[in-house]
């Protein structure tokens, strides 16, 4: 019987208590290695581990600068993309939980998820997805809304770049060290 040799180049993540810590350690070892690649969007997206964790940290810090806290719930209504991943991991990195669903889902299902997850924040694909949730969204306890698109957001709503800018300007390296300390979860 042959035994597979242990690959000593693999990282030991056994002490990590969050995905944020996994990403940090991986980025320290492989900062210039491609982590996210989406050739189907224009412009094409390519992010290294370091670039991706910088955006994850900035997104989380941006949400925190708007008042989101550990234990808050966030509905993430968008389709799989590098920005979805950044938002998902940024939400988890600040200790919030997320309830995720595709933006293509039926309107009533999305409203049900937002309401029954007790979400205080909402991250949506774009303005069309946000419009799909109106007017009922106004009666829910959602205080913060973010578009993953670069569209000009309505008043009181932020887009992806604005959240990254807020996060980059608000907390810096001290904030990055505090991310992902407790065990984090997502709402299934």
Q: Please report the DSSP string for 148-186 in residue order.
A: SS-SPPPTTEEEHHHHHHHHHHHTHHHHHHHTT-S----
**Per-residue pLDDT averaged across 85-100, rounded?**
96
Average pLDDT along the chain? 89
d(CA 161, CA 177): 22
Domain residue spans in the chain?
19-178
Residue bearing the bigger pLDDT, 62 or 10: 62
State residue 14's pLDDT score: 85
Strand partners, 34: 48
Query: Cα angle vertex 63, ends 76, 169, to 5°?
Result: 140
The whole-number average pLDDT for the span 121-137 is 98
More confident call, 17 vs 135: 135
C-alpha dist (Å) from residue 87 to 78, 98, 108, 159: 10, 10, 23, 11
Is residue 178 over pLDDT 60?
Answer: no
Residue 20 has pLDDT above 50, yes or no: yes
Calculate what percentage of the chain has a pLDDT beyond 70.
86
Confidence at residue 183, expressed as pLDDT on a 0 to 100 scale: 44
The pLDDT of 33-59, averaged and rounded, is 96
Q: Is the pLDDT of residue 174 over 50?
A: no
C-alpha 63/C-alpha 69 separation (Å) is 8
Model pLDDT, residue 184 = 45
Correct CATH for 19-178 of 3.30.43.10, 3.30.1200.10, 3.40.50.980, 3.40.50.10140: 3.40.50.980
pLDDT at 79: 97
pLDDT at position 154, please?
98
């Amino acid at each position: 019987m042959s035994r597979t040799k242990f690959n000593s180049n693999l990282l030991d993540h056994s002490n990590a208590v969050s995905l944020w810590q996994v990403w940090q350690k991986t980025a320290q070892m492989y900062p210039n290695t491609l982590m996210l690649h989406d050739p189907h969007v224009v412009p094409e997206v390519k992010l290294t581990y370091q670039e991706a964790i910088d955006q994850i940290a900035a997104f989380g810090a941006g949400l925190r600068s708007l008042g989101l806290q550990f234990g808050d719930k966030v509905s993430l209504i968008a389709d799989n993309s590098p920005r979805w991943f950044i938002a998902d991991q940024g939400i988890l990195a600040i200790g919030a939980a997320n309830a995720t669903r595709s933006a293509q889902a039926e309107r009533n299902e999305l409203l049900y998820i937002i309401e029954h997850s007790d979400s205080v924040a909402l991250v949506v694909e774009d303005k069309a997805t946000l419009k799909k949730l109106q007017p009922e969204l106004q009666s829910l306890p959602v205080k913060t809304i973010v578009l993953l698109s670069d569209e000009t957001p309505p008043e009181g709503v932020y887009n992806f770049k604005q959240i990254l800018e807020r996060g980059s300007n608000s907390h810096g390296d001290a904030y990055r060290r505090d991310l992902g300390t407790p065990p984090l979860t997502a709402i299934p």
